[in-house]
Amino acid sequence: MLKIDNLHVKLEEEDKQILKGLSLEVPAGQVHAIMGPNGSGKSTLSYVLSGRDGYEVTEGSATLDGESLLDMEPEERAAAGLFLAFQYPVEIPGVGNMTFLRTAVNAQRKARGEAELSSGEFLKIVRAKAAELQISPDMLKRPVNVGFSGGEKKRNEILQMAMLEPRMCIMDETDSGLDVDAMRLVSDGVNALRGPDRSFLVITHYQRLLNHIQPDVVHIMADGRIVKSGGPELALQVEEEGYGDLLAEAR
């Protein structure tokens, strides 16, 4: 599914290397977690994969099912099935959540040469999926993320994920700012989406999210590279011991 090979990335504005030869492969149907200390380049990785401006790839490649992601516009990556759940979901004043969702769903369908959803079809689907995430009809009508609580914003990201049905989901610290109940809702939403054709890359600081979303592989990232990979037990080790020993070992 997702294959990242020797990826080197620097900031466009200043001469600062963030990713320094990162390699990673997420096969179809798997959930991989990335953990790492602050400043290790986790968020940069999610932005570079989704095509945000401001980064320059100096070496390496990233492909989704063999197609180079790095040559595509952000919306082309989205239509190809790449989804990023934002760490800080963006507010768009005046644009109803529902309008936003429908525009996004239909833009992707159009890009893939599929028929657009009628308002009837769309409403039916969105209502069912919103109910599962305990998103109220009122929240669907309100402007995108405006005045949403931290938990509401993250649930809204998962709703978008559920509606867009991406194949490759990147979640950038989706657990930050969530209380226990919200974390359970979000995790249940993600787990419901798990399937043989869909993969997840879960970026997180804390092991507790991984109690809810069981990863197949855990990667430890430091200084722009994956320094160690292992099973779920690796996350537990980090939780208990911190990154110190792992990083020392890697050096």
Partner 1 sequence: MNEITDLEVREGVDRETVETVQNMGSYKYGWDTEIEMEYAPKGLSEDIVRLISQKNGEPEWMTEWRLEAYRRWLTMTEPKWAMLNYPQIDYQDQYYYARPKSMEVKPKSLDEVDPKLLATYEKLGIPLKEQMILAGVEGADEAPAEGRRVAVDAVFDSVSVGTTFKDELAKAGVIFCSISEAIREHPELVKKYLGSVVPQSDNYFATLNSAVFSDGSFVYVPKGVRCPMELSTYFRINAENTGQFERTLIIADQGSYVSYLEGCTAPKRDTNQLHAAVVEIVILQDAEVKYSTVQNWFPGDEEGRGGIYNFVTKRADCREARAKVMWTQVETGSAITWKYPSCILRGDESQGEFYSIAIANNFQQADTGTKMIHLGKNTRSRIVSKGISAGQAQNTYRGLVSMHPRATNSRNYTQCDSLLIGDKCGAHTVPYIEVKNTSSRVEHEATTSKVDDDQLFYCRQRGMDEEEAVALVVNGFCREVLQALPMEFAMEAQSLVAISLEGSVG
User: What percent of the chain is helix, strand and coil (3-state, nearest 5)?
Assistant: 40, 30, 30
79 contacts: CB under 8 Å, gap ≥ 6: 107, 108, 111, 112
Task: Write down the least CB distance from residue 167 to partner 1, Å.
Answer: 13
- For partner 1, which is the closer residue by CB, 167 or 212? 167
Task: Write down the least CB distance from residue 249 to partner 1, Å.
Answer: 36
Task: Write down the least CB distance from residue 144 to partner 1, Å.
Answer: 8
- For partner 1, which is the closer residue by CB, 105 or 235? 105
- For partner 1, which is the closer residue by CB, 17 or 99? 99
Distance CA 133, CA 136 (A): 9
Q: What is the DSSP string of 178-240?
A: --HHHHHHHHHHHHHH-BTTBEEEEE-S-THHHHHS--SEEEEEETTEEEEEE-THHHHHHHH
- For partner 1, which is the closer residue by CB, 78 or 226? 78
Angle at alpha carbon of residue 47, lines to 46 and 49, rounded to 5°: 65
Angle at alpha carbon of residue 106, lines to 169 and 164, rounded to 5°: 20
Task: Write down the least CB distance from residue 69 to partner 1, Å.
Answer: 12
For residues 212 and 241, the answer to whether their CB atoms sit within 8 Å is: no
Q: Please state whether beta strands 82-85 and 217-222 pair in parallel, antiparallel, or not at all (unpaired).
A: unpaired
Query: Which letter does DSSP use for residue 151 in this model?
Result: H
- For partner 1, which is the closer residue by CB, 29 or 96? 96
CA-based R_g, the chain, Å: 18
- For partner 1, which is the closer residue by CB, 37 or 143? 143
Task: Write down the least CB distance from residue 63 to partner 1, Å.
Answer: 18
Task: Write down the least CB distance from residue 93 to partner 1, Å.
Answer: 6
Q: Please state whether beta strands 168-172 and 82-85 pair in parallel, antiparallel, or not at all (unpaired).
A: parallel
Task: Write down the least CB distance from residue 145 to partner 1, Å.
Answer: 9
Residues that bind partner 1 (CB under 8 A): 50-53, 73-75, 77-79, 83-84, 86, 89-95, 98-100, 103-105, 107-108, 111, 118-119, 123, 143, 160, 164
- For partner 1, which is the closer residue by CB, 154 or 225? 154
